[in-house]
Structure 1
Amino acid sequence: MTTEDPAAPAGPRTRAERRRDTLARLGAERDVWLATAHPEHGPYQVPLWFRWDGRAVWCCTAAASPTVRNLRADPRARLALPDSSDVVQLEGRAACLTAAEVPGQAADGFAARFGWDPRTEEAPYVYLRVVPDAVRAWRGVPELRGRLILREGEWRE
């Protein structure tokens, strides 16, 4: 018995193919896992809705959440799309922006995508903007080599 996907390509994708596929998924998917850590409270991971604007990932969460607390103490963040057979991980530093600080285009885009505008909520929300410094993408063991497709903010060829 084999566990290989018969629709999967015969060999590993090139970096260009991984970049294309990754950008398509960032534009189409709506959920991301966001991992943060706090020096005293330890790691914390949460699923959030996200919007990719072509350069950064935008998420939104309650201002009093552990995610915001952690990112204010240490802005490093790791994000992962929820598919273990088609992995996409992003690493970067998060900026925490209040509803008054978030650029209108980013907040409007988030509201349009999800039909929910955090700026209208009674409790305060914070927008999280993560510009990736690194992106890794792979589909199984054959693609472990070459999985780093963006490094120091630059797409690798």
Structure 2
Amino acid sequence: METTGIVRRRTAERMRDTLERLLTERDVWVSTAHPEHGPHQVPLWFLWDGRAVWMCTGAASVTARNLREEPRVRLSLPDTFEVVLLQGEAECFPDQEVPAGAAEAFVAKFGWDPRVEEGSFVYVRVVPRTVRAWRGEPELRGRVIMRDGMWLEQRPTGPRPRG
């Protein structure tokens, strides 16, 4: 594997770069599994609201059916060099029951409103529990930047203690 020129980023830098990509990228690979039928992977448009990933798919799609049976999901951004993997549990909202803010943000980003389409859609919300990010082999060690839903480089808020 060619690693020349890759500079290992600190966790805080990986977190910043990951958050920037979550805000700006359009597509995410969604990996689900059904207890009897096995794995399924599909690319979907996504929106990052600062805490969760929102996606939308047909209510009868394999992805939606799998998530009803098994809500654990893995998401990955489509770059195989600058990898970002998210893991969490999906919560599904029928298109007519999705929180208005999420639906409007989806419309603003993509110019598409599934709530007015023919057929039924489901919005899928995933709050990550684990996030891994790395750029090439030099960053494999330390690639976990979120564990148990907490960013590893979170800075405390409020006044700093004196002493």
* TM tier relative to shorter chain: over 0.9
Distance 1:3 1:148 in 2: 22
Amino-acid identity (%): 63
* Corresponding position: 1:60 with 2:56: yes
* Corresponding position: 1:110 with 2:106: yes
Per-residue CA distance 1:63-106 (angstroms, 9 max, x = gap): 00000000000100000000000000000000010012210000
Distance 1:36 1:43 in 2: 6
Number of corresponding residues? 153
The code of the aligned residue for 1:33 comes to: W
Distance 1:4 1:151 in 2: 27
Q: Does structure 1 retain, via aligned residues, the 8 Å contact 2:85–2:132?
A: yes
Q: Which runs of 5+ in 2 are unaligned?
A: 154-163
Per-residue CA distance 1:105-146 (angstroms, 9 max, x = gap): 000000111011000011000000000000000011110110
User: Mapping of 1:3-152 within 5 angstroms?
Assistant: 3-4=2-3, 6=5, 8=6, 11-152=7-148
Q: Which runs of 5+ in 1 are unaligned?
A: none
RMSD: 1.2
Going from structure 1 to structure 2, the CA distance change for 1:98 and 1:5 (only over 3 Å counts) comes to farther
Measured after TM superposition, the shift of residue 50 of structure 1 is 0.2
**TM-score, normalisation: structure 1:** 0.94
The code of the aligned residue for 1:15 comes to: T
